């Protein structure tokens, strides 16, 4: 009986001693592994940041390389953000611009900052004629491209599936130093209206956007 107790005590001491040695080793291994993972993440981010080339929104003479970033370096786009209002042909248009940051374009294969725009058109009595203000950012009918090579004019593309894919180009620029007035010019493309268009026989064909107007910041 005494012998068994001695064996039990010796075994218990051995187990305690073993755990006391093993536990710090386990902790050390965990910290070592976490450190390696952390360093790997930092290294990967550093490599990606270094590899990604950054360009301004002003056009360049070269095609932008894949995965590069066309960035609003001078922070010019925020001045356009917000709601703008104008009146033409007994109609009122409200245009809301929003800046989109560092978004990948699957067609051009690079990232970029740009504006998107939503608009609402009413008659003078407030009756809604067109309204796409609830569209998501990636489904807006007006999408920015970049600034013109010369001057401070910003270009956008307009495609309206609700008007039989009517499309065109828009150019905007500020008319005053306070940036509270915005000159808008819309150049409609060569749109072919086919018989399957719901407005095929409509005269005149519905027009959602003004050709030229000065918008006032609201």
- Please give the Cα distance from 103 to 144 (Å, whole number): 12
Q: What is the pTM of this model?
A: 0.76
Structure tokens at 165: 């894919």
**Stretch among 58-62, 69-73, 114-118, 189-193 having the lowest mean pLDDT:** 58-62
Residues of the chain above pLDDT 70, percent = 76
What backbone phi and psi angles, to 5 degrees, belong to 73?
-60, -40
Q: Across all residues in the chain, what is the average pLDDT?
A: 85
Q: Tokens for 44?
A: 């990967």
Pairwise CA distance, residues 93 & 215, whole Å: 9
Predicted pLDDT of residue 7: 40
How is 87-100 classified by DSSP, letter by letter? Answer: EETTEEEEEEEEEE
User: Which of 2-6, 24-28, 80-84, 169-173 is predicted least confidently?
Assistant: 2-6
**Confidence check: pLDDT of 21 > 80:** no
| Fold that domain 69-217 belongs to in CATH | Lipocalin (2.40.128)
**pLDDT at position 94 over 70:** yes
Least confident of 86-90, 199-203, 208-212: 199-203
- Please report which confidence band the pLDDT of residue 149 belongs to, taking 50, 70 and 90 as the band edges: confident
Query: Which secondary structure element, helix H or strand E, spans residue 54, and what is its range?
Result: strand 54-55
Q: Please write the tens of the pLDDT for every residue from 50-59.
A: 568 999 998 7
pLDDT, one tens digit per residue, over 29-85 is 556 666 666 565 655 544 444 568 999 998 776 789 999 999 999 999 999 999 999
Q: Report the C-alpha gap between 54 and 106 in whole angstroms.
A: 17
Where does the pLDDT of residue 8 fall: very low under 50, low under 70, confident under 90, or very high at 90 and above? very low
pLDDT band at 27 (very low <50, low <70, confident <90, very high): low
Q: What is the pLDDT of residue 46?
A: 46
Contact 86, 216 (CB under 8 A): yes
As to burial, measured by CB atoms within 10 angstroms (0-12 exposed, 13-18 middle, 19+ buried), residue 102 is exposed
């Amino acid at each position: 009986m005494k012998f068994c107790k001695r064996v039990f005590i010796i075994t218990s001491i051995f187990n305690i001693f073993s755990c006391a040695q093993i536990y710090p080793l386990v902790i050390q291994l965990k910290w070592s592994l976490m450190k390696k993972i952390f360093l790997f993440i930092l290294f990967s981010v550093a490599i990606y940041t270094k590899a990604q080339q950054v360009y301004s929104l002003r056009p360049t003479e070269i095609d932008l390389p894949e995965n590069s970033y066309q960035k609003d370096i001078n922070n010019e786009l925020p001045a356009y953000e917000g709601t703008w209002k104008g009146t033409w042909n007994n109609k009122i248009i409200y245009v809301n611009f929003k800046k989109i940051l560092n978004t990948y374009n699957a067609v051009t294969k690079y990232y970029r900052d740009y504006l998107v725009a939503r608009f609402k058109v009413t008659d003078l009595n407030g009756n809604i004629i067109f309204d796409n203000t609830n569209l998501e950012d990636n489904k807006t009918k007006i999408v920015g491209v970049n600034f013109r090579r010369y001057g401070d004019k910003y270009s956008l593309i307009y495609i309206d599936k609700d008007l039989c894919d009517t499309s065109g180009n828009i150019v905007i620029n500020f008319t005053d130093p306070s940036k509270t007035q915005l000159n808008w010019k819309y150049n409609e493309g060569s749109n072919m209206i086919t018989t399957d268009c719901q407005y095929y026989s409509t005269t005149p064909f519905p027009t959602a956007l003004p050709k030229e107007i000065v918008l006032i910041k609201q």
